[in-house]
């Protein structure tokens, strides 16, 4: 299982494997180019909505093409919520799946995760589970405070009962552009307790985008209106020293693409070929990925 090898090595050698979602072709190109150039392993993540956007047959073609690239690339289902979507991803040839039962009652999360583990392991597929609930933004872009941090003792029981290969935890990060309510904080104290309870299990951090002000400013200066964007890259700069072996980033690439496209079209009003602003996006995504690989993941030069 390629992801197992990647995460175990990251744990042993104190680095993080970048897990980048791709919402469109430009992001896919930019993150792959960055990882190849910097010799970093990469997990390419596809959410269910991204699967629907690409459609299964075209995604299958992309996966077959990705397999021809001579570089360690793991293809992963992000936030699979049902057994059916897990089966769909495995049928398409994904290397690993996430089953996200985090918003279910604990016993239901255990039941669903165990069912997925049995099915996936029988097919040589790696499984990420999630325990604890990340906050989600409401319609106004504000975080709801329904987050529930991961309970370290329950994490041990969850891993034993389900047999998951890695565990996504809730320690203060959130999805989207609005990362923190009040003072930005990631609960490394809770992470330490989790590490003690499950010392051999690679930990996954979702909601790890940095939400750099430079992208938000470009978007808003060129006609956008993104409010409540709050990130903090300093909070993640020591994450590579912990058992966090995989960090998930999606929002940052969405911001990079939107910023570069808005700027390009505003500055080049005569252009209408999508490959012109597509190329601008690929370059920006590549820079964005390189910064995260070198400053947060420290995964450069880990591919021999």
Q: Applying CB under 5 A, which of residues 76, 179, 206, 243 lies at the interface with Zn ion?
A: 206
Strand ranges (E), 48-153: 73-80, 96-99, 126-131
CA angle 256, 286, 95 (to 5 degrees): 100
Q: How far is the CB of 23 from ligand G3H (least distance, A)?
A: 6
- Smallest separation, CB 208 to Zn ion (Å): 9
Told to check if 114 binds Zn ion by CB under 5 A, we report: no
- Does the annotation mark 189 as catalytic? no
For residue 205, list its beta bridge partners.
169, 247
In the list 186, 249, 256, 297, the residue contacting ligand 13P (rule: CB under 6 A) is 249
Q: Which does 162 bind (CB under 5 to 8 A by kind): Zn ion, ligand 13P, ligand G3H, none?
A: none
Q: Which residues between 235 and 254 bind Zn ion (CB under 5 A)? A: 248
**Half-sphere exposure of 290 toward its Cβ, with a 13 Å CA cutoff?**
13
The answer to whether 175 contacts ligand 13P (rule: CB under 6 A) is: yes
| Residue 269 Cβ vs ligand 13P, minimum distance, rounded to whole Å | 31
Q: Look up residue 137 and give its DSSP letter.
A: B
Query: At closest approach, how far in Å is the CB of 113 from Zn ion?
Result: 16
* CA dihedral for 140, 132, 196, 11, sign (positive or negative): negative
Contacts 24+ apart (CB under 8 A), 144-147: 145/181, 147/174
DSSP state of 223: T
Residue 226: alpha-carbon gap to chain centroid: 21
- Contact footprint for ligand G3H (CB under 6 A): 21, 23, 47, 49-50, 78-79, 175, 250
Q: 102, 150, 162, 209: which one contacts ligand 13P (CB under 6 A)?
A: 209
Q: CA–CA separation, 291 vs 281, rounded Å?
A: 15
Owner of token pair 């993941």 = 297
Q: Under a CB-based contact definition with an 8 Å cutoff, are residues 177 and 136 in contact?
A: no
Q: How far is CA 71 from CA 61, 74, 248, in A?
A: 18, 10, 20
206 binds ligand 13P (CB under 6 A): yes
When CB distances are held under 5 to 8 angstroms depending on the partner's kind, the choice from ligand 13P, ligand G3H, Zn ion, none that residue 238 binds is none
Residue from 41, 129, 132, 176 binding ligand 13P (CB under 6 A): 176
For ligand G3H, which is the closer residue by CB, 229 or 264? 229
Determine which one of 56, 78, 217, 252 is catalytic: 78
In the complex, which residues of this chain contact ligand 13P (CB under 6 A)?
A: 21, 78-79, 175-176, 206-209, 248-252
Catalytic residue set: 78
């Amino acid at each position: 299982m390629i992801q197992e090898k990647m995460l175990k090595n990251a744990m042993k050698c104190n680095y993080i494997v970048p897990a980048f979602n791709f919402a469109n072709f430009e992001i896919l190109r930019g993150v792959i180019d960055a990882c190849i150039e910097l010799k970093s392993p990469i997990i390419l993540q596809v959410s269910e909505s991204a699967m629907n956007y690409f459609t299964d047959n075209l995604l299958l073609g992309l996966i077959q093409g990705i397999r021809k690239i001579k570089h360690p690339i793991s293809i992963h289902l992000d936030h699979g919520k049902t057994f059916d979507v897990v089966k769909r991803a495995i049928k398409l040839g994904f290397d690993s799946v996430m089953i996200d039962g985090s918003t279910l009652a604990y016993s239901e999360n255990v039941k669903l995760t165990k069912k997925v583990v049995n099915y996936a392991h029988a097919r040589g597929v790696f499984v990420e589970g999630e325990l604890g609930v990340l906050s989600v933004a409401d319609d106004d872009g504000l975080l709801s405070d329904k987050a529930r941090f991961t309970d370290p003792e329950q994490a041990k029981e969850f891993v034993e009962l389900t047999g998951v290969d890695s565990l996504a935890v809730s320690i203060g990060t959130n999805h989207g552009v609005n990362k923190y309510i009040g003072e930005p904080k990631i609960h490394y104290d809770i992470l330490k307790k989790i590490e003690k309870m499950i010392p051999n299990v690679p930990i996954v951090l979702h909601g790890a985008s940095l939400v750099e002000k430079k992208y938000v400013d470009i978007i808003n200066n060129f006609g956008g209106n993104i409010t409540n964007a709050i990130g903090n890259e300093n909070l993640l700069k020591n994450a590579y020293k912990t058992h966090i072996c995989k960090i998930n980033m999606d929002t940052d690439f969405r911001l990079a693409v939107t910023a570069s496209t808005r700027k390009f079209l505003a500055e080049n009003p005569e252009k209408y070929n999508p490959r012109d602003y597509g190329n601008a996006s690929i370059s920006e995504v590549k820079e964005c990925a390189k910064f995260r690989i070198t400053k947060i993941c420290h995964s450069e030069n880990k591919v021999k």
